[in-house]
Amino acid sequence: MEKYQRFLASGFKPFDPLRLAEETERIVTRLGSEGLERRYTGFYSVPVYRGIATGYAVGCCLRCIYCWSNWSRDFPERFGEYYSPK
């Protein structure tokens, strides 16, 4: 990919979201000792509704103008750690 699309700014150049998805996948996943691993910034669990858990994944191939996500969406190589599904 010529340039990884970070975030939308005035006068941005249109991008191919499928190519961006491939580049994002290359950054946020790897093959580790326990199989495929993915980058997460953290996990959250609460005992309501018999227990729920959320994993905050790093990276996204969309560049929604009103996205609430933090900088880990735009700079996935700088945030999070790799975890296996285990």
Q: What is the pLDDT along the chain (86 residues), one digit of tens a residue?
A: 456 778 777 888 888 889 889 999 999 999 998 899 999 999 999 988 888 989 999 998 888 878 788 899 989 999 999 999 88
Range of the domain at 73: 17-83
| Residue 11 domain flag | no
| Residue 41 domain flag | yes
| Residue 4 domain flag | no
| Residue 5 domain flag | no
In angstroms, the CA 60 to CA 47 distance is 28
In angstroms, the CA 56 to CA 74 distance is 14
Which has the closest alpha carbon to 61: 10, 11, 4, 2?
4
Backbone angles phi, psi at 22, to 5 degrees: -65, -45
Q: How many domains does the chain have?
A: 1
| Residue 10 domain flag | no
